Structure 1
Amino acid sequence: MNENMHDVVVIGGGAAGLSAGLVLARARRRITILDGGAPRNAPAAHMHGFLSRDGMPPAALLEAGRAELAGYGVEPITARVDEVAREDGPEPAFTVRLTGGASLRARRILVATGLRDELPDLPGLRERWGKDVLHCPYCHGYEVRDRPIGVLATGPMAVHQTLLVRQWSSDVVLFGQGREISPEDRERLAARGVTIREGQVKRVVADDDGLRGVELADGRVVDRGALFVQSTMIPNDGLLTGLGCAREDGLVRTDGKGRTAVPGVSAAGNVVNPHAQVIMAAAEGSAAAMALNADLVEGDVQRAVRHDRVTGRRATEFGGAVEAMIAEAVLGDRRHGL
């Protein structure tokens, strides 16, 4: 095997990528982890729902993961990947080209590049994102419990999100933003005590102490202590689609073990599962790494079998030639009466 060839290059150093790297390092695989250094959850002060890590700052989790990997001789490299190209040959092989001109070669690729959130264009909203302007009730609902909460109707799941949020507060307002709300949904919301504000939201009102409310187009301010927003989640899957990975319903399709439609290319975490929380992304990275290692083991076995067949045949051919030479020499001696 070419000593410059990695077993796996992991692209993305978040929970999915680091978890995959840990499994592969423990499997004694030669790997490199490339991290662009812009995690999606960087604005959040804490993460939740991760057993044994509840309340930990996201950056602290990544630091702990990198420290664990260092114990196995793996240190993630901060780098941006411009392109991953397939190499010609009977087995999967790839060239990973980095910004700045450097490149790596790998037998397998694992993409764990996450996603980015596109937010509504409202003054004041982005500045509070991840603090008291939030997207996931399971991630942040408990921290804003019993506050007056608003939900901005920015997507088709607005009613569903509002009814979820109602679990954490009895004072919930849905800002309709002109979206049509069916009579059935209005009845369901009313039954749970949710107020609907029909007018357009003009801006998010906040000061140094946090969110204060939501200003409507007519100038009225509705006091709120937290606001939930359904962002538009855009997977960072350009490397995968550039390799020809098939998509389905807007996402790159994978099997239950992270394999894409392109042999040798796997993906895990938010890049293929936008709704995965940190603990789920880490689990997906681990599962993808185990599948990758199993694929590599099978490739190693097949290569060893081919080697033995070739070297065995050559040995047989060589042995046969020697036997023929000896027989000819004996026959010649007999002809000469020796």
Structure 2
Amino acid sequence: MATALSNQNYVESLTARPRVLVVDHEPMSRTLIDAILRRGNDYNVLMAGDAEEGLGVARRDRPDLMLLSTFLPGADGYSLCRTLKSEPRTRRIPVVMVTAHAGTQERVQGIEAGADDFIVKPFNRVELLARVRSLIRIKSLNDQLDEVEDVIYSLSRAVEAREGGDHEAHTERVVIFALAIGSELGLADEAMRVLRQAAMLRDIGKIGVPDRILNKPGALDDEEQKWMQGHVALGEQIISPLRSTAALLPIIRHHHERIDGKGYPDGLAGEEIPLGARIVAIADAFDAMLSNRPYRPALSPAKALATLQAGAGKQWDSRLVELLVQWSARHPNSVPQTK
């Protein structure tokens, strides 16, 4: 029964008409847009008369497109657009600003608020439909990319499951330590987002490493080392088709480089290594030291930090190591004790 319902929902999602939310304080304008969009029975049209109502509908129904009047009672359309673009659940909804003025100032305001397009009243029916169709098509493609992204994150979790133990918790801690270093550096929000995602996906290429190598309790031989080292290039290949993950590629490829140039895959040295890769390398190594391994017991936080400091300037970036040391001293409860 559950499968039948699931299949029914899937079919409905394929055949459902795109939803367009019209936010306009003028009833006549809403009625006109509604008539144009419903004429071919191609769209489901939702209505709101002010910013507060429009925000509520957008959050609840997540339409495929919004036609948003610049002038609204209370908060104006620009403010509503900024709010929509700042929230994870609504930021991908294309927004067309509907305005009675085509001046540069209005367009600049809309661009700064995050609007995707403009249309000027009185609008041409053919132009309105063309803009709606175009933006909905783009959103559909972006939604498909999001679905692919979800598959990639699922692959990453599958790798963690193959490695056994508490490897999922290991990844969560690597993210915490990487963001701690990024915070100490004062990285901007976007750089922190990239750092978080790269730390999560850094080892996705291990999906191509055989279990006998991935879970070998002893040292790897030369051939097995080549297999293991190949995971960074494979990880880069897996996520490279996704436009949204382009900034992650250098971190995933280079998080096993060394400051002295003796790492892999490209033997980069010093600041040739991307900053994000240097951060993730330290975060990954730190938590690995704090975790039990088949070939050694977990180190205490003090010993793990001392090991990082001993390798600073050779394996790891000295400045970033010290930032982690400082953060750990201020947040001792955030560092797991010896397991």
What range describes the TM-score normalised by the shorter chain of this pair? under 0.3
TM-score, normalised with respect to structure 2: 0.20
Indicate the structure with greater helix content: 2
Q: Which has the higher contact order (CA 8 A, sep 6+)?
A: 1
Q: Going by fraction, where is strand more abundant, 1 or 2?
A: 1
Asked which structure has the greater CA Rg, the reply is: 1
Q: TM-score, normalised by structure 1?
A: 0.20
